[in-house]
Amino acid sequence: MRSRILQHVLILLLTALFGGLLGATLVRLAPGFGVDEQEYDSRLSRESIQALRQAHADEKNLLHFYSGYLLGLARGELGASHSLNRPVAELFRERFPVTFRSVLLGCLGSWVLGFGLALPGVLRRCWGYDLFASALSGFFLCLPSAAVALLFLYFRGPASVAVTLVLFPRIFRYARNLLGETFDRPHVLTARAKGLGDARIFAWHVLPEAAPQLLALLGVSLNLAFAAAIPIEVICDSPGVGQLAWQAALGRDLPLLVNLTVLIALITVTANSLTDLASRSLVRQPA
């Protein structure tokens, strides 16, 4: 278990390093890098413009730029947003709670809805219900997140419910297939033949068996929720990090965009690592 935890910490560090390097490369290679708009001020003399250029000269050396970027990242300095003219850390403090709330509530809602739709279908095996649930999930699965967001723009619904509707078809389909397979296992059939009730079979024989895969799905659903949050926050005008990412993309604010990508990657990797560790602790070791 200890080696597993160490492995996950290593993956976390690698993600930060890889994300940081990728980010620094993107920032360095972006068109217009190192150009200060003050250079176009006609009142400045040639010497002043030269001094401005000299100030950015160090950043043009890739290695120097990488090390500076990573050292800043290690110190928790995320730099400043060009387009919004504010420190990135301040923007994160302001926007993350909004997204976190909608993502967490959206995940919770999608699990309740997805699992709630899947379970009766697996227990009762009624084709009519299965057709209805499949059609409903299929409808939302085929809609882009932006279209779901439009519905919520029209009816002024909360962003978290839009995240729920984007996410639940994926949870439903996976949960239905997984629970269906587990309910067909010989030990579950034996338990049913012995007269055990549905609730007891589910709680004692199906859930422990399916828990590791369901936990893995929980980690993945967080990643999907963050991705769905971008169009939903933009279209529903919800001031979260999704909207911030879009503003940064339009304003070509790469430092902000890169920090956002790295931070969200770290959150999803941490969530995946935690669910992986939890699912491994749940797997029954052979005697």
Partner 1 sequence: MRIMRRIALGILIGVFLVSLVAELVAPGLYAVQFRDAPNAPGSREHLLGTDELGRDLLARLLAGTQVSLLLAPAAAFLATLIAALVGGVAGYLGGWWERLCLGAVDLFLSLPWLFLLLTARAMLPLDVSAWPSVLITFVLLGCLGWAASARIVCAGARALRYSDYILLARANGCSETRIALRHVLPNLKPILLAQFLISIPVFVLAEANLGALGLGVSEPFPSWGGMLRGLENYSATLANPWKVAPLALLLVVTSCFQMIFPQEGLT
Taking CB under 8 A as the rule, does residue 13 contact partner 1? no
For 121, the token pair is 């279908």
CB of 205 to partner 1, least distance (A): 24
Q: To which residue do tokens 């990573």 refer?
A: 70
| Residue 123 interacts with partner 1 (CB under 8 A): yes or no | no
| Count of positions on this chain that bind partner 1 (CB under 8 A) | 53
Q: Is 224 in the site for partner 1 (CB under 8 A)?
A: yes
Q: How far is CA 124 from the centre of its chain?
A: 34
| Of the candidates 239, 234, 230, the residue with the CA atom closest to the CA atom of residue 153 | 234
**Residue appearing with tokens 């024989």:** 205
Query: With binding defined as CB under 8 A, does residue 104 bind partner 1?
Result: no
**24, 188, 215, 254: which one binds partner 1 (CB under 8 A):** 254
Site string for partner 1, 182-221 (x = CB under 8 A): ----------------------------------------
Binding residue for partner 1, selected from 235, 240, 275, 276, defined by CB under 8 A: 235
Which segments of 46-87 does DSSP mark as H helices, in order? Answer: 46-60, 62-74
Instruction: Enumerate the β-bridge partners of residue 80.
Output: 87
Shortest Å, Cβ 124 to partner 1? 21
DSSP 194-234: TT--HHHHIIIIIHHHHHHHHHHHHHHHHHHHHHHHHHHHH
Q: Cα 144 from chain centroid?
A: 17
* Cα(146)–Cα(106) distance, integer angstroms: 15
> Which stretch in 27-35, 62-70, 85-93, 123-131 sits in contact with partner 1 by CB under 8 A?
27-35
Q: For residue 39, give the DSSP letter.
A: G
Identity of the residue, 201 or 232, whose beta carbon is nearer to partner 1 in the bound complex: 232
- Does 98 interact with partner 1 (rule: CB under 8 A)? no
Residues 6+ apart with CB under 8 A from 232: 102, 145, 148, 149, 152, 159, 162, 163, 166, 238, 242
In the list 121, 170, 201, 205, the residue contacting partner 1 (rule: CB under 8 A) is 170
The reply to whether 138 sits near partner 1 by the rule CB under 8 A is: yes
Judged by beta carbon, residue 105 or residue 227, the one nearer partner 1 is: 227
Site for partner 1 (CB under 8 A): which residue of 78, 165, 188, 260? 260
Q: Determine the 3-state secondary structure of 87 from DSSP.
A: strand
State both tokens at 167: 């996410």
Report if residue 132 touches partner 1, rule: CB under 8 A.
Answer: no
- Residues in contact with partner 1 by the rule CB under 8 A: 11, 14-15, 18-19, 23, 26, 29-31, 138-139, 141-147, 149-150, 153-154, 169-170, 173-174, 177, 223-224, 226-227, 230-231, 234-235, 245-246, 248-250, 252-254, 257-258, 260-261, 264-265, 268-269, 272
